[in-house]
Structure 1
Amino acid sequence: MSTLVISDLHVDIQTEDGPKQILKGVNLTINPGEIHALMGPNGSGKSTLAYAIAGHPKYEITQGTVTLDGEDITEMSVDERARAGLFLAMQYPVEVPGVSVANFLRTAKTAIDGEAPKVRTWVKEVEQTLADLQLDKSFSSRSVNEGFSGGEKKRHEIAQLQLLNPKAAILDETDSGLDIDALRIVSEGVNKYSAQGDRAVVLITHYTRILRYIEPTFVHVFVDGRIVAEGGKELAENLEAEGYEKYIKEAANA
């Protein structure tokens, strides 16, 4: 079973003026089969949370822990966290010129599983996954994210999610820059992954439109490095109508 537990997480980033605190005590438990939508204004620390959990060296955890299936991953390297079952879909996927999608996916699968997948079954699995995401068969021969449209980049992230099949996935603004058709395709991919019933998902988003396709178990409001409110899908609908001003004022007065 895949339980991701974030306990009293404090995180600093390094600036020209020294360390700056971004996360100020985040507590969140994502149980198997749950989808937690994390919403908040720009600069509130949502992406910092994602990168800190994934182990980005720019983000220093100064207090608290992150556990996956009871195993503390806080001191692990990035690759160790991936092998433990953690996956991050980045808001801005980077280009990797000269590395084909096919080689990238097979190398990642081999690194995580500790052995190379069987070629015949793996090729069929990759082709089927790309087809499900409406990516042409020739997509496998293209360099990773080089010249990709926004929709192709995000669908490639979901292809990784399905093929690597991690225990827990953090999806950082997976809906960013998507048109309606791409949004639906990406959402179907996330739902397929979550439908296994034993996977944990954190979905970071600014907008409610993706929540029309992905049903969240819980919605959390993130302001000034903390979770300040939580509820069901109706909370996201209230945010759509009223914005974050109420929560920003409450955080400032706390």
Structure 2
Amino acid sequence: MATLEIKNLHVSVNTDDGPQEILKGVDLTVRSGEVHAIMGPNGSGKSTLAYSIAGHPKYDVTEGEVLLDGEDILQLSVDERARAGLFLAMQYPVEVPGVSVANFLRTAKTAVDGEAPKLRTWIKDVNAALERMTLDPTFAQRNVNEGFSGGEKKRHEIAQLELLNPKFAVLDETDSGLDIDALRVVSDGVNRFSGQGDRGVLLITHYTRILQYISPDFVHVFVAGRLAETGGRELADQLEAEGYDKYTRAGV
């Protein structure tokens, strides 16, 4: 069983007024086969958590550890973290002009696996992954995220997830900007990934609508840079009904 352990994680960012602490001691363990949903208001630090795990240079880890199967990945470069089995689906995927989806995916797969996939098999795998995301095979010839709709960007991210097949996926607001049809397609992709039984998911979201299609094992309330409460699916229903007021009022 693979394990992603976040221990007492403190993270700061530099501002005009000096360093500002965003994460204030986060403890969370995700095991293979588990889906964890993190919910919280804007500005609570959810995306900071995702990017800090992935190794974004903007975020300065001042204390704590992030262990992937016992190895502190904070000591690894971004590409080394990916090879160790970590995947980040970004809230706002960036455009990569001049690089086709096909070349991007094959380069990424080669980097993660340490060897290039066999071309004939790979083309079939890519076309199948795109089809599952309701993307036409010609999509592979387009430049990465250039001119993509919001739904295409998110479906492309999940196609990457399926093809790279990491140990753990951190999905930062994968449901953002999706209509109901795209939401179902993306959710199906996440369920296929997590349904393998030996893969873990950390799903960051504002809303409960994606949890109508993806059933989390744990729901965490994230407020002011900390985990304020943990529960099951019923906690998400409570948040939908009551919002985050009781946590923000309490100054958690």
TM-score (normalised: structure 1): 0.98
Count, aligned residues: 252
Report the counterpart of residue 218 of structure 1 in structure 2.
218
Task: Confirm whether residue 237 of structure 1 aligns to residue 237 of structure 2.
Answer: yes
Report the counterpart of residue 140 of structure 1 in structure 2.
140
SS in 2 for 1:189: helix
Name the stretch that deviates more: 218-227 or 69-78: 69-78
SS in 2 for 1:42: coil
Report the counterpart of residue 209 of structure 1 in structure 2.
209
The one-letter amino acid paired with 1:86 is L
The one-letter amino acid paired with 2:143 is S
d(CA) in 2 for partners of 1:69, 1:160:
23
CA shift, 1:2, in A, is 2.1
Report the counterpart of residue 180 of structure 1 in structure 2.
180
d(CA) in 1 for partners of 2:17, 2:33:
42
Report the counterpart of residue 93 of structure 1 in structure 2.
93
d(CA) in 2 for partners of 1:55, 1:129:
27
CA shift, 1:75, in A, is 1.3
d(CA) in 2 for partners of 1:82, 1:18:
31
Report the counterpart of residue 169 of structure 2 in structure 1.
169
* Structure 1 unaligned regions, length at least 5: none
d(CA) in 2 for partners of 1:161, 1:72:
23
Report the counterpart of residue 82 of structure 2 in structure 1.
82
Report the counterpart of residue 9 of structure 1 in structure 2.
9
d(CA) in 2 for partners of 1:242, 1:198:
34
Report the counterpart of residue 37 of structure 1 in structure 2.
37
CA shift, 1:13, in A, is 0.5
d(CA) in 1 for partners of 2:129, 2:138:
13
SS in 2 for 1:74: helix
Task: Confirm whether residue 55 of structure 1 aligns to residue 59 of structure 2.
Answer: no
The one-letter amino acid paired with 2:152 is E
Percent of residue pairs bearing the same amino acid type? 73
* Structure 2 unaligned regions, length at least 5: none
d(CA) in 1 for partners of 2:61, 2:229:
23
SS in 2 for 1:186: helix
The one-letter amino acid paired with 1:144 is V
Report the counterpart of residue 22 of structure 1 in structure 2.
22
CA shift, 1:34, in A, is 0.3
d(CA) in 2 for partners of 1:158, 1:27:
27
CA shift, 1:228, in A, is 0.4
Kindly report structure 1 stretches of 4+ aligned residues shifted beyond 2 Å: none
The one-letter amino acid paired with 1:249 is R
1:205-248: CA deviations, max 9, x gaps?
A: 00000000000000000000000001001100110010000011
CA shift, 1:249, in A, is 1.4
1:66-113: CA deviations, max 9, x gaps?
A: 011111101111111011110000000000011000000000000011
d(CA) in 2 for partners of 1:144, 1:164:
16
d(CA) in 1 for partners of 2:9, 2:30:
15
| RMSD over aligned Cα atoms | 0.6
1:163-221: CA deviations, max 9, x gaps?
A: 00001010000000000000000000000000110111000000000000000000000
d(CA) in 2 for partners of 1:57, 1:101:
25
The one-letter amino acid paired with 1:45 is G
